[in-house]
Amino acid sequence: MAASAPKKTAAVRKPKSATDRQFVTALARGMSVLRCFDALHTQLGTTEIAHMTKLPQPTVWRLCYTLQQLGYLVQAPDSDKLRIGMSVLGLGQYALNSTDIGEMILPEMMQLAKQTGAAVSLGIVDQDDILIVKRAQGDGHLLFNLSVGSRLPIATTSAGWAYLAGLPSRTREETLQKLRYQAGNRWTALRTAVEAAATNMETNGFVFNEGFYHPDVNAVAAASFDKQGKPQYVVSCGGPNLKPKLLREEIGPRIGRLARKITVALAGRPN
């Protein structure tokens, strides 16, 4: 039976400066509430939301009330919990439809998933997570119930490592420090693994994650870059039955080529 992904948090990201007058804290808090909901957390109570966002319960009540009035949250049927409303779904559908990147590589993702029995995902960075925007699943064993809309922690997953590897070394270190909470007691091992991933990305065009996110899961991933050289998308492939040699010699290079294909497509887009 497939397991659920580790429980996430959706803490409000602090502005770079406490005196940043352009940063609207109330808006950031409202967005942090919405980010609590995903494919694995479709219905949540205010107590759960308060725990995930680290916000006071009265603040969460007010935010949820406001979001309900705007249609972004609605009461779940036969429950005192909340779920995402159609207003959010409409915005999300528009965002997904506004890009052809996912559709461009989906056939190749499906082909790779079918051939390997593994899961192939296209993700983007959203706060401290990788948000899955396209996914192809082979017929192999599933360890986690992940789908479009699911989130993966940046610090411990192959997709996250691909993103980190694509950052300049100083930015990568700063980002890792912010994500230290995701590593738990494996902080020293994580820093070593991410630096190794950055070297592999530069040398081989992809990163390799052997059992760091979960002891039974091996995965590879690669980042795609926008015109400014910033990692924009990550493509990953992983599963519980994938041999390291297969990942390094066959799947990894294919994931790297998919990522480069996206980079070329992004370079050809108008500003």
Query: What domains lie within the chain, and their CATH numbers?
Result: 25-92 (1.10.10.10), 99-267 (3.30.450.40)
Tens-level pLDDT at each residue, the chain (271 residues)? 344 454 555 554 554 445 677 888 899 999 999 989 887 788 999 999 999 999 999 999 999 999 998 888 999 888 889 998 877 766 665 555 445 788 889 999 999 999 998 999 999 988 888 989 899 988 876 656 788 888 899 999 999 999 999 999 999 999 999 999 998 899 999 999 999 999 999 999 999 999 898 888 899 999 999 888 999 999 999 988 789 999 999 999 999 999 999 999 888 765 5
CB atoms within 10 A of CB 22: 6
Placement of tokens 């192939």 in the chain? 120
Identify whether the C-beta of residue 126 lies closer than 8 Å to the C-beta of residue 151.
Answer: yes
CB within 8 Å of 179: residues ≥ 6 apart: 128, 153, 154, 155
pLDDT, residue 149, reads: 82
Placement of tokens 């980190």 in the chain? 164
**Nearest partner of 162 among 137, 113, 125, 215, judged by Cα:** 125
Single-letter amino acid, residue 125:
V
pLDDT, residue 57, reads: 94
pLDDT, residue 92, reads: 64
pLDDT, residue 98, reads: 46
> Which tokens belong to 264?
């070329």
